[in-house]
């Protein structure tokens, strides 16, 4: 009879870690505290047979597709425990950086059914369209329920299946990205055929019928296939026209938590020197920052920069195109700012960090979506003398291993007029 083993922790990708005499084994579908029996293992990864005794934080998964659909990794763990685990991941990264003191984090979690951005795949299977996410290392799972998506987006999936089935340009399948903008859903489609006038007519009719002002075809740049109304979104009170496939924070509440933490981290005095914002995107943070000071906003994506520039008239946002990894903002410019706000991609800030270290601006507000990159980027800042003033953790990717954080760092003794 197989012996039960105990899951003692979660790994960084959300799989449970069971400690055995032979070493650690990663087992998906388990949570800390579970006593489990394995069906098989290869020495490092195991397949769960059954749970003998559930851990204190184990809960029934709220979605019947859990374990099949690739969208959620940790639905069998209580949300409060999941937030604690994500907070612990961020704190552990900061501990590895070596800060003398780590402030108690503020932690926030969005609610289910709040996801307003999704990337889906679709495949023709017989006379049906399968539309959903890929199972782990597998085929597309038809998304007939979802605890993540905003109800407006989920309600769109059924008519989308019919639309995709009717399009002559869809042969075997493709992909579709949906952003829920203030003007309605915004669709960016990849097809395995070339859309003709008939496809465009079908798409325009679909857009009018379902309140979708723009449907675009993936490309460099994307091509608008159907435009049936104005496309717009608001950051604070500023109306922007995001390009197809624009980056949005996945949940409105998550964006609000991030923005609040960033604004709370600004110095109370000395902002006449202005703010330098790196990786500004379409202006998620830019216009809120501009309520407090002049903002030099740098962005490397041309489409996002064009959106930001078009909307910045009459504001204190000064957009500039800059590939920050190839051409970082230099230390001499960074040194003059009252604060640096950066929201880098998943891989981190790269070459820009060395210039920040050299410039020694008095305050840095770092928005992170990756604790590993956060640790790597903050380590040279800590060596340069920066101290950690506050930490905010945001769980807006529910039931996944992804976590956002906002860290505020100050340099003791630097430009005391800019200190709180």
Annotation: binding site for S-adenosyl-L-methionine: 249, 279, 299, 343
Rg (CA), the chain: 23
Q: Which residue has the tokens 């790196």?
A: 278
Q: How many beta carbons lie within 10 A of that of residue 418, not counting itself?
A: 22
- How many helices (H) and strands (E) are present in the chain, helices listed first? 9, 22
Query: Would you state the structure tokens that stand for residue 408, as one six-digit string?
Result: 């505020």
249: burial class by Cβ within 10 Å (0-12, 13-18, 19+)?
A: buried
**Residue 57: what are its φ and ψ, rounded to 5°?**
-100, 5
Residues in the annotated binding site: 249, 279, 299, 343
DSSP at 261: H
HSE, side-chain direction, 13 A CA sphere, residue 322: 20
Q: How many beta carbons lie within 10 A of that of residue 126, not counting itself?
A: 6
* Displacement of CA 73 from its chain's centroid (Å): 15
Point out the catalytic residue in the list 63, 69, 72, 369: 369
* Crossing angle for the helix pair 352-359 and 371-383, to the nearest 10 degrees: 30
| Region of residue 143 (left: phi > 0; alpha: psi -120 to 50; beta: else) | beta
Is 369 catalytic? The answer is: yes
- Provide CB contacts within 8 A for 86, sequence distance 6+: 107, 393, 395, 401, 403
Strands (E), 115-183: 117-125, 128-134, 140-142, 173-181
Measured CA to CA, the distance from residue 291 to residue 309 in angstroms comes to 17
Measured CA to CA, the distance from residue 361 to residue 337 in angstroms comes to 6
302: burial class by Cβ within 10 Å (0-12, 13-18, 19+)?
A: exposed
DSSP at 231: -
Bridge partner residues of 26 (DSSP): 17, 45
Query: How far, CA to CA in Å, does 390 sit from each of 101, 142, 419?
Result: 10, 42, 14
User: Catalytic residue positions?
Assistant: 369
């Amino acid at each position: 009879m197989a012996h039960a083993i105990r899951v003692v922790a979660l790994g960084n990708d959300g799989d449970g870690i069971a400690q055995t005499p032979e070493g650690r084994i990663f087992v998906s579908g388990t949570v800390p505290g579970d006593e489990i029996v394995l069906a098989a293992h290869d020495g490092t990864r195991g397949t769960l047979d059954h749970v003998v005794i559930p851990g204190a934080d184990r809960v029934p998964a709220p979605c019947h597709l859990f374990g099949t659909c690739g969208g959620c990794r940790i639905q069998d763990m209580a949300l409060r425990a999941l937030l604690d685990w994500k907070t612990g991941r961020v704190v552990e990264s900061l501990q590895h950086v070596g800060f003398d003191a780590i402030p108690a984090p503020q932690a926030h979690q969005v609610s289910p059914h709040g996801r307003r951005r999704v990337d889906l795949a679709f495949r023709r299977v017989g006379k049906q369209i399968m539309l959903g996410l890929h199972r782990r290392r597998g085929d597309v799972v038809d998304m007939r329920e979802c605890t993540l998506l905003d109800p407006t987006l989920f309600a769109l999936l059924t008519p989308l299946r019919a639309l995709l089935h009717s399009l002559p340009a869809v042969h075997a399948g493709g992909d579709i990205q949906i952003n829920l903008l203030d003007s309605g859903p915004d669709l960016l489609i990849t097809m395995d055929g070339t859309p003709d006038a008939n496809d465009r007519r079908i798409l325009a009719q679909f857009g009018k019928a379902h309140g979708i002002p723009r449907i675009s075809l993936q490309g460099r740049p994307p091509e608008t296939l159907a435009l049936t109304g104005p496309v717009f979104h608001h950051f604070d009170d500023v109306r922007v026209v995001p390009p197809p496939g624009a980056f949005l924070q996945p949940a409105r509440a998550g964006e609000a938590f991030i923005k609040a933490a960033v604004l709370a981290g600004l110095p109370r005095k000395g902002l006449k020197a202005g703010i330098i914002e790196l990786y500004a995107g379409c202006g998620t943070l830019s216009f809120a920052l501009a309520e407090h000071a002049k903002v030099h906003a740098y962005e490397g994506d041309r489409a996002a920069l064009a959106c930001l520039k078009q909307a910045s008239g009459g504001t204190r946002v000064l957009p500039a195109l800059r590939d920050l990894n190839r051409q970082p903002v230099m230390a001499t410019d960074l040194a003059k700012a009252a604060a640096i706000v950066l929201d880098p991609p998943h891989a981190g800030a790269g070459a820009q960090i060395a210039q920040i270290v050299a410039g020694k601006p008095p305050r840095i507000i770092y928005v992170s979506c990756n604790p590993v990159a956060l640790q790597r980027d903050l380590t040279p800042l800590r060596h340069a003398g920066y101290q950690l003033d506050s930490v905010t953790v945001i769980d807006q990717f529910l039931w996944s291993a992804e976590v956002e954080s906002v860290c505020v760092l100050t340099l003791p003794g630097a430009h005391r007029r800019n200190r709180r």
